[in-house]
Amino acid sequence: MLNVFPIQFLALLAYFLLRLFVGGVLVYVCMQHLKQFRSLSKSLTLPWFPYPGINAVLLIGTEILIACSILLGAYTQIGALLLIILSIKMLVLKKYWSHPTLPDRLTYVLLIGCGLSLLITGAGVLAFDLPI
């Protein structure tokens, strides 16, 4: 079937836009977690790891690392893999952690899909990663 808008030469720009939006979502979530750090660090308890402050620091640090990697386009596929792992972890731990700044499960499902897309396609244009 013919494309209604035959602009396949802009496909690399689509990966840039995907990176921009995924990185923006992660920066937004990370900023919300930083604003509510005290209450977040009290609510991230696990039965097998009773140090909620360390959990909050690790969560925020991982989000910052992934957001910078994806936004800058440096090690994008590694950042996408970390995004997938973080999203699966948050889907599993959502039943233990309940805080208003943690996104819904559907957000993490969508981030898994975006992470898979970036893992397969790479960074696109305006990135430090070089296509091989």
Q: Does pLDDT of 85 surpass 80?
A: yes
Q: Does pLDDT of 117 surpass 80?
A: yes
Q: Quick count: other Cβ atoms within 10 Å of Cβ 20?
A: 15
- Rounded to whole angstroms, the Cα distance separating 120 from 7 reads 21
pLDDT category, 93, cuts 50, 70, 90?
confident
Burial of 68: CB neighbours in 10 Å, binned 0-12, 13-18, 19+: middle
**What pLDDT score was predicted for residue 8?**
73
Sign of CA dihedral 78, 27, 127, 116: positive
What is the mean pLDDT of the segment spanning 36-54?
A: 84
Alpha-carbon distances, residue 11 vs 15, 18, 26, 78 (angstroms): 7, 11, 23, 21
The residue assigned the tokens 């969508």 is 110
Question: H helices within 50-126, ranges in order?
Answer: 52-72, 76-93, 105-121
Helices 11-35 and 76-93, packing angle to 10 deg? 50
DSSP code of 36?
A: T
